[in-house]
């Protein structure tokens, strides 16, 4: 693992519930974290993520100009069915090898799990009951913070 430390990334989902016009809506937030620097990129937020959306997310992540996974060699993720063969193939075409952790073993992806635990901490959400203040703390680039804030409104 030390050999790949500079180019090792992990990803996962977490949910955020918000009150909508017709009741509570659960948003799924997909994020990627660079293990060496702990920089986090919120790759997307969607109510009902599907395979097509994940393929677009993969294309965005390996974009040669602005992709968060530029220079990455490995991406650790769980066995969620949203990580399809198409998702893996797009990442592989960008030079990123996907590494699946064993089933029901979140401790094999501790950096991503710790980020979820931190971002969902009550003290981060209590300021105004929204994820916007918490999410802007974790986005490494100013334009990324603006995208996140706009998508959570």
pLDDT of the residue at 132: 53
pLDDT for 123: 59
Backbone angles phi, psi at 21, to 5 degrees: -65, -35
- What domains can you pick out in the chain, each with its CATH number? 5-152 (3.30.420.10)
- Cβ neighbors of 74 (< 8 A, separation 6 or more) are 4, 7, 8, 9, 96, 97, 98, 99
Q: Which of 12, 16, 11 is nearest to 125 (CA)?
A: 16
Q: What is the pTM of this model?
A: 0.78
Q: How far apart are CA 153 and CA 143, in angstroms?
A: 16
CA dihedral angle for residue 65, residue 70, residue 76, residue 82, rounded to 10 degrees: 20
Dihedral of alpha carbons 14, 17, 21, 23, sign:
positive
Which DSSP state fits 98? E
Per-residue pLDDT of the chain (153 residues; tens, 9 = 90+): 666 678 999 999 999 998 888 899 999 999 999 999 999 999 999 999 999 999 999 999 999 999 999 989 999 999 999 999 999 999 999 999 999 999 888 788 999 999 999 988 875 555 555 555 555 555 555 455 445 444 444
């Amino acid at each position: 693992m030390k050999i790949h430390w500079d180019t090792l990334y992990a990803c996962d989902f977490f949910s955020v519930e918000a009150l909508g016009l017709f009741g509570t809506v659960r948003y799924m937030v997909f994020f990627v974290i660079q293990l060496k620097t702990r920089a986090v990129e919120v790759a997307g937020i969607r109510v009902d993520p599907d395979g097509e959306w994940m393929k677009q997310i993969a294309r965005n992540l390996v974009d040669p100009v602005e992709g968060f996974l530029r220079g990455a060699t490995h991406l650790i993720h769980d066995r969620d069915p949203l990580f399809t063969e198409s998702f893996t193939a797009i990442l592989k075409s960008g030079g990123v090898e996907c590494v699946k952790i064993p089933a029901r073993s979140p401790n094999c992806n501790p950096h991503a799990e710790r980020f979820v635990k931190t971002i969902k901490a009550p003290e981060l959400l209590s300021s105004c009951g929204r994820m916007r203040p918490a999410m802007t703390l974790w986005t490494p680039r100013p334009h990324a913070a603006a995208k996140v804030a706009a998508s959570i409104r």
